[in-house]
Amino acid sequence: MPNTPHFQGTGKTVIVTGGGKGVGYGISEAFLQAGAQVYICGRREPEQLPQANGQKAIFIPVDVRDPEASQTLINTALEHTGRLDVLINNAGGSPPVVAADAPYRLSESIIRLNLIAPLILAQQAHNAMVKNGGGSIINIASVSGARPSPGTAAYGAAKAGLINLSRSLAQEWGPEQVRVNAIIAGLIRTSAAEDHYGGKAGIELIEHSLPMRRMATPEDIANACLFLAADSSAYVSGAALEVYGGGEPPSFLKMAEDALALAQG
């Protein structure tokens, strides 16, 4: 009989980095809803913890850029439940910065957060997962890593590296049944989106330009994580799952359309 296509979380332990806000919050709630014990981390405890099915996520204060702190995160989950089944490397981000003016330490910090930290956490999770007979590691990448990323060059380069890292680790760790996948996330509408995209008017303009006329939601990313973590996805490893509603139309198409309208008008 085929495995159910849904993630069955009962008795399973899940870690979501950056799980206290935005996309991470939505991912954490989805895994709680599926019955898993969920651990989240961040530098500051959120005002409200993700919760579902009468269960709350457990928060551990961790800066994922610190390898000793991230090992403490893994150890705490193991001490509580004795196992680690899923790691979701969600923590990341970058302020906008012109590449020519970007301070060295800022670029280094961006790459450490978005690439080095997920690598180290994946190594630490791998060591725990092999004792359970395997597990699933999901790296939240970005469309910025699959196309040019002007204004956030270091971030885009780090996310491109994260996609490649996912594929490389999938091959190295496949014999141990530790699956590694990436999600290439597109534009996502979170509580902070208005500030990032120029307010409601900016969001409306952007969404009108997208094929599905909307940005992704945290739930969209969470559903992709549930799919990748499910036992029924046991042969899905090394994938870079694109969750961006058809992608961003080439800007030259809009420019050509505007030019034609101007010529005809």
Say if residue 83's pLDDT is above 90: yes
Residue 47 belongs to domain with CATH number: 3.40.50.720
pLDDT of residue 193: 74
pLDDT tens, position by position, 174-202: 999 999 999 999 888 887 777 777 788 88
What is the span of the domain harbouring residue 99?
13-264
Which of the four pLDDT bands, split at 50, 70 and 90, describes residue 1?
very low
Say if residue 98's pLDDT is above 90: yes
For residue 3, being part of any structural domain is answered with no
Averaged pLDDT for residues 164-169: 98
Please tell me the distance from the alpha carbon of residue 114 to that of residue 147, in angstroms, as a whole number: 16
Say if residue 245's pLDDT is above 70: yes
Contacts of residue 35, defined as CB under 8 A and 6 or more positions apart, other chains included, come to 8, 9, 10, 12, 53
Please tell me the distance from the alpha carbon of residue 127 to that of residue 109, in angstroms, as a whole number: 26
Please tell me the distance from the alpha carbon of residue 45 to that of residue 83, in angstroms, as a whole number: 24
The residue among 62, 82, 57, 65 whose CA lies nearest residue 73 is: 62
For residue 8, being part of any structural domain is answered with no
Q: Which of the residue ranges 27-36, 99-108, 188-197 would you say has the lowest mean pLDDT?
A: 188-197
Query: pTM for this one?
Result: 0.92
pLDDT of residue 251: 74
- Three-point CA angle 127, 130, 136, nearest 5°: 90
For residue 192, being part of any structural domain is answered with yes
For residue 47, being part of any structural domain is answered with yes
Q: Which of 25, 39, 155, 197 is catalytic?
A: 155
Q: How many domains does the chain have?
A: 1
For residue 156, being part of any structural domain is answered with yes
For residue 2, being part of any structural domain is answered with no
Largest CA distance in the chain: 70
Q: Which ranges of the chain would DSSP assign to H, the alpha helix?
A: 22-33, 67-81, 104-111, 117-129, 153-173, 193-197, 199-209, 218-229, 251-264
Say if residue 242's pLDDT is above 80: yes
Residue with tokens 């120029």: 198
Single-letter amino acid, residue 229: A
Exposed / middle / buried, residue 78 (Cβ in 10 Å: 0-12, 13-18, 19+) = middle
pLDDT of residue 195: 72
For residue 222, being part of any structural domain is answered with yes
Name the percent of the chain lying above pLDDT 90.
Answer: 78
Which of the four pLDDT bands, split at 50, 70 and 90, describes residue 208?
confident
For residue 210, being part of any structural domain is answered with yes
Give catalytic status of residue 25 as yes or no: no
Which of the four pLDDT bands, split at 50, 70 and 90, describes residue 87?
very high
